[in-house]
Amino acid sequence: MGYQGNKVAFRLVFLSRMLRALFLVTLIFTNPSIANDGMELVRQLNLGNFSDEAKTNGFSALQESIDQGDPQAKLVLGIIKLLGIGVASNESEGVALISSVASSNTNNASAQAIAERLLKIKDELIKWRQGNARLSCGTGCAFSRGLNSENMRRLFKLEEWFDLAVITLEVGYQDDLSYFYLGRTAEGIGDYSNAITYYRLALDPNTRGHQCSSSVCNGVNVASEAKDRIYIVRGLLDKQQTEHDTERRKKEAAAAAKLEEARQLTLKEERTIEFNTTLQNADSGTCTVQHQLAKMYFAGDGTAADEKSGLNWLSKSAQKGCSDAQYELSKRYRAGNGLAKNAQKADDLLLKSSRQGYPEAQEKMREIQAIKQERASQIAAAESEKLEKLRAAEQKLIQEKQEIESKRKLENINKLKSL
């Protein structure tokens, strides 16, 4: 892109300071929870690491500054939207914001100059964020690269990633160090996948172009450090993916819980309406409606649970002839469930229900009949056994009497003989 000189360096430093200061105001002060390490996050422009609440507060404050006519705030928001840092990328909105700063009659000449400069390389910046930046300027840019070398070294040491990405793309020198810088700047804003792409380009002799000598590598051993950064970034990428998965699951669980809560609320409202309708129709309605109302009272369905009211409507339904209500009321009398135990009433209601063909009542009647028959059989067997025992005892007694009588006769005969 050509030589920018001291003017370029000044603007880069100004942009870096402007970005740090503005994000510090909009994000740290609106979210005290990140105040301790907020400078690091602000400096890296890594909004993706902030909570949703922090981002909301930060962008709200940023928009407020824009509404007050601050061109720096508008420029920063334009960069964020253009590159999709922490938000979905929107090129048209980003370009519109940056263009408005570039074309405005603002007193902030530095912001205007930076905006004009960014518009010139917006396509290269977008490609950088997409992992598609490919440098194409070789020997023709070597002089510009040499003049900007010290400034690039300084930005690298200060970890001014956005500024370093801008000047690297502006110079456009095709060598391993430039691709390493693009990888380091991508890593610096949390774009780990694309960082690995650029580190690999720095190591690939077929795509990197020139290979810098030790004297112009700005103190960077590209071959060694690029390999190390790939290893490190893979770990960061795994961690980021794990965090994103965890956050996604949390959001999905929260959304599911909210949906279920809304579903339950809607269901409750529907059941309340159903209960009120049933209650209104119960007095003049059929025994089926009355039984339904009883069940709703018992279950607390559409209303507060009320056993007394439930029993009242259950009794009315049974009296009106509903076989299912008669059967349920019979069970309650038999078990003493909400009512005093009364076997006679339980049997009477069960018989009525059974005669109407209610299957469960008929089954219960068969069970009762079977139990009665079993008891009758047991009683008959017991009586038979008792009778047999009485007969055996009588027989034994008769036999004992016969034996005594025979013995007495024998003794009398013996006495007569002795005379």
Whether 179 and 212 have beta carbons less than 8 Å apart is answered as no
* Predicted pLDDT at 31: 31
Which of 80-84, 212-216, 301-305, 347-351 is predicted with the least confidence, judged by mean pLDDT?
212-216
Q: 188-205: per-residue pLDDT in tens? A: 888 899 999 999 999 998
Cα 349 to Cα 326: distance, rounded to the nearest angstrom:
5
pLDDT level of residue 161 (50, 70, 90 thresholds): confident
Beta-bridge partner residues of 173: 137
Residue 37 has pLDDT above 50, yes or no: no
Q: 171-187: per-residue pLDDT in tens? A: 999 999 999 999 999 99
Tokens of 119: 């518009």
> Closest by alpha carbon to 34, among 245, 43, 82, 72?
43
* Predicted pLDDT at 216: 57
Which of 99-108, 149-158, 248-257, 297-306 is predicted with the least confidence, judged by mean pLDDT?
99-108
* Predicted pLDDT at 274: 95
* Predicted pLDDT at 225: 92
Residue 75 has pLDDT above 80, yes or no: yes
> Closest by alpha carbon to 140, among 2, 236, 279, 293?
2
Give CA separation, 374 vs 367, 368, 377, 381, 387, in Å: 10, 10, 5, 10, 20
pLDDT level of residue 21 (50, 70, 90 thresholds): very low
* Predicted pLDDT at 305: 95
* Predicted pLDDT at 19: 46
Which of residues 258 and 109 earns the better pLDDT score? 258
CA 61 to chain centre: 29
pLDDT level of residue 32 (50, 70, 90 thresholds): very low
* Predicted pLDDT at 334: 92
CA 307 to chain centre: 38
pLDDT level of residue 322 (50, 70, 90 thresholds): very high
Average pLDDT for 10-27? 42
Mean pLDDT is highest, among 26-30, 151-155, 262-266, for: 262-266
Element containing residue 110 per DSSP (H, E): helix 109-120
* Predicted pLDDT at 46: 43
Residue with tokens 């930076």: 114
Q: 324-344: per-residue pLDDT in tens? A: 999 999 999 999 999 999 999
pLDDT level of residue 44 (50, 70, 90 thresholds): very low
Cα 120 to Cα 116: distance, rounded to the nearest angstrom:
7
Average pLDDT for 348-371? 92
User: Helix 161-171 to helix 176-188 angle, to the nearest 10 degrees?
Assistant: 150
Average pLDDT for 273-302? 94
CB atoms within 10 A of CB 310: 19
Which of 225-234, 243-252, 257-266, 404-413 is predicted with the least confidence, judged by mean pLDDT?
404-413
Return the exposure string of 190-217: e unless at least 16 CB atoms fall within 10 Å of the residue's CB, then b: bbbebbbbbbbbbbeeeebbbebeeeeb
Numbered ranges of CATH 1.25.40.10 in the chain: 271-361
Using the Cα atoms of residue 212, residue 218, residue 221 and residue 227 in order, give the sign of their dihedral: negative
Q: What fold is seen in the domain 271-361?
A: 1.25.40
Computed over every residue of the chain, the mean pLDDT equals: 83
Percentage of the chain exceeding pLDDT 90: 46
* Predicted pLDDT at 60: 77
The residues, any chain, with a CB within 8 Å of residue 163's CB and separated by 6 or more, are: 12, 13, 15, 16, 155
* Predicted pLDDT at 314: 95
* Predicted pLDDT at 320: 93
**pTM as predicted:** 0.57
397-405 long-range contacts (CB < 8 A, ≥24 apart) are none
pLDDT level of residue 346 (50, 70, 90 thresholds): very high
* Predicted pLDDT at 89: 87
Residue 255 has pLDDT above 90, yes or no: yes
